[in-house]
Structure 1
Amino acid sequence: MDIERINDNTVKFYISYLDVEERGFSRDEIWFNRDKSEELFWEMMDEVNEEADFVMEGPLWIQVQAMDKGLEVTVTKAQLTKDGQKLDLPDDIDDRRKMFSSDDAVAPEFDEFEPVFDEPDLKKLEYTFVFSEVDELLPIARRLMYVPIETALYHFENKYYLYVNFDEILHSDEDVKNNISIFAEYLQTSPITIHRLEEYGKEIFKEDALSNVLHYFG
């Protein structure tokens, strides 16, 4: 399981379906069996606490995004108002994320909610793709030559990774969907985050990766 500490209140982690099965759970169980999904969640949170020192206190906001080969989970400690009653939604978590609350501020439990795992986030603006050779980007670069998309290229563990970031002002949901379909024609999506690539990968093009690939390899 890959764990990324975002800030004091937020942690993100990725678990593959293979890892889920190795822990003794099936895909059907985590989607449709509340007890099993909660058991898996708290097992993962114990691991997060050990590795990322993320102490669970009070209500939690949780988003789970289903990916091709696993699940990406974002957990944020909800902020309480001064009277200790009302929950303020964290700035970096939108109103579609689900809350698991508790009367116990030390050991929160799940409130009424089924299934535990929410549907995929339809407004995702950041993507990472993995591939073997740089020239695999050439057909994409040619097709998206005049489309303003932020891209960066890294080499990590004998693979190349393309980070893609859409501007929510410049790109509508339909734009993102159409452009991502072009990337998906040639490349495989990856759960690796840009933060991990920046820290452990070798930077090839920090920005304008597609236009640079077209210039140097086309």
Structure 2
Amino acid sequence: MKIERLSQDRIRIFLTFDDLLERGIQKDDMWREPPKLHELFLEMMEQAYTELGFDASGPLAVEVLAMPAQGMVIIVTRGKSNHAGDERSREEDELEDDIYDMEVTMEESDVVMYAFRDFEDVISAAKQLKASALTESGRLYSYNGKWILAIEPAYVDASKHQAVIALLAEYGEAVSVTFAMLEEYGKVIMAESAVKEICEHFQF
């Protein structure tokens, strides 16, 4: 489980499917809200407080995005507490029931996103995707010093979806970013048909 601060009142949590399995949670469980999900959220908030000093008091907006190769991305935004003027210690808060005032939105995305440190790896992956007749689509971004290749399921035959993920995993690593984050903080290098464009421009 990886936690990072996006702003003073917002954090992002990335859970791989291995993280979920270690806690006895299957992917589909994220949509059913069993008691173990409540335990998972308590664990995440405790870790966020320990690592980042993020105090999840007051109303929270929780966005959950499930992705096929990456796992789960959870963005927690803290609103203004109704008890902002109260001077209560953390120990007193812990005596209360572990209940959060949350507004949860859940979304599932089949977009496959992989990051590559070297552009040569992007070229190699693209050539293999085309040679294996898996796809010639995709968008290419530059983000946080890495190359991000995003492939939407609409441009991949359903029977080849897992093969695309397996091939990309040979050259890159799954990342916990969304299209919205890439559009806002990244740079679009190739807006469409990235695999085809890379293969045509880099022939060796």
**TM bucket normalised to smaller:** 0.5 to 0.7
Q: Confirm or deny that 1:118 pairs with 2:94.
A: no
- Conservation of the 8 A alpha-carbon contact between 1:31 and 1:37: no
Dislocated runs of 4+, deviation >6 Å: 153-156, 180-183
Q: Report the counterpart of residue 192 of structure 1 in structure 2.
A: 175
- Conservation of the 8 A alpha-carbon contact between 1:57 and 1:108: no
Per the TM alignment, residue 74 of structure 1 is displaced from its structure 2 partner at its CA by 0.9
Alignment-mate amino acid for residue 125 of structure 2? E
Distance 1:163 1:76 in 2: 27
Deviates more, 1:36-45 or 1:206-215: 206-215
Per the TM alignment, residue 111 of structure 1 is displaced from its structure 2 partner at its CA by 5.2
C-alpha spacing 1:61/1:150, structure 2 compared with 1 (3 Å): same
Q: Report the counterpart of residue 26 of structure 1 in structure 2.
A: 25
| TM-score, scaled relative to structure 1 | 0.52
C-alpha spacing 1:29/1:194, structure 2 compared with 1 (3 Å): closer
Q: Report the counterpart of residue 199 of structure 1 in structure 2.
A: none
Alignment-mate amino acid for residue 187 of structure 1? V
C-alpha spacing 1:33/1:75, structure 2 compared with 1 (3 Å): closer
- Conservation of the 8 A alpha-carbon contact between 2:68 and 2:109: no
Structure-to-structure mapping, 1:73-84, within 5 angstroms: 73-79=74-80
Alignment-mate amino acid for residue 189 of structure 2? E
Distance 1:215 1:134 in 2: 10
Per the TM alignment, residue 40 of structure 1 is displaced from its structure 2 partner at its CA by 1.0
Q: Report the counterpart of residue 162 of structure 1 in structure 2.
A: 148
C-alpha spacing 1:155/1:133, structure 2 compared with 1 (3 Å): farther
Structure-to-structure mapping, 1:170-181, within 5 angstroms: 178-179=154-155
Distance 1:187 1:153 in 2: 21
Distance 2:101 2:55 in 1: 19
Q: Confirm or deny that 1:214 pairs with 2:200.
A: yes
Q: Confirm or deny that 1:128 pairs with 2:104.
A: no
Query: Across the two proteins, how many residue pairs are aligned to each other?
Result: 163
Identical columns (%): 21
Structure 1: 5+ residue stretches without partners? 86-103, 166-175, 196-204
> 1 or 2, which has the higher helix percentage?
2
Structure 2: 5+ residue stretches without partners? 84-92, 179-186
